Structure 1
Amino acid sequence: MFDTATTALLRAVLDEVCECVSQREIGARTHVASKILEAATRGEISPEALKQVGRDALSHAPTMWR
């Protein structure tokens, strides 16, 4: 698992990327979180790179309107 600092970074990235996403959009938030975690697991811990991964995931996230 990740250390405390990395966990805090991942949470901050998720919150920033999903700031305009409703808390009720669980599917979209989960999709973004999983992609960010996948990148971190591969060793990507740059905040900017993780944000880009999150933004890319958000653009392809499932929504109830599609």
Structure 2
Amino acid sequence: MFDPATTALLRAVLDDVCADISRFETGARVRVASRILEAAANGDTARESLKKVSRQALHEAPSMWR
């Protein structure tokens, strides 16, 4: 699907944005990851843009995920 460099970037953005979220909060991480993947699939692979998409997904999540 994505080349190794892009995959590493997507994972780094996910880890960065979800740094303050417990790894056990899978719902929030899945929500953010799906938005990152959606953006990347649409050709958006700029780090700052992916972070913006990720933060927006986290902001829209129910408050228990923040």
Q: Percent identity?
A: 60
1:1-66 matches, cutoff 5 A: 1-62=1-62, 65=64
Aligned length: 65
Q: Which has the higher helix share?
A: 2
Q: What's the offset of the Cα at 1:34?
A: 0.1
Q: What amino acid is aligned across from residue 38 of structure 1 in structure 2?
A: E
Once the two structures are superposed, what CA deviation does each residue of 1:27-46 show, in whole Å capped at 9, x if it has no partner? Answer: 00000000000000000010
Q: TM-score, normalised by structure 1?
A: 0.92
Contact 1:27 1:61 in 2 (8 A): no
Which structure 1 segments of 5+ residues have no match? none
Q: TM-score, normalised by structure 2?
A: 0.92
> 1-side partners of 2:3 and 2:36: how far apart?
15
Which structure 2 segments of 5+ residues have no match? none
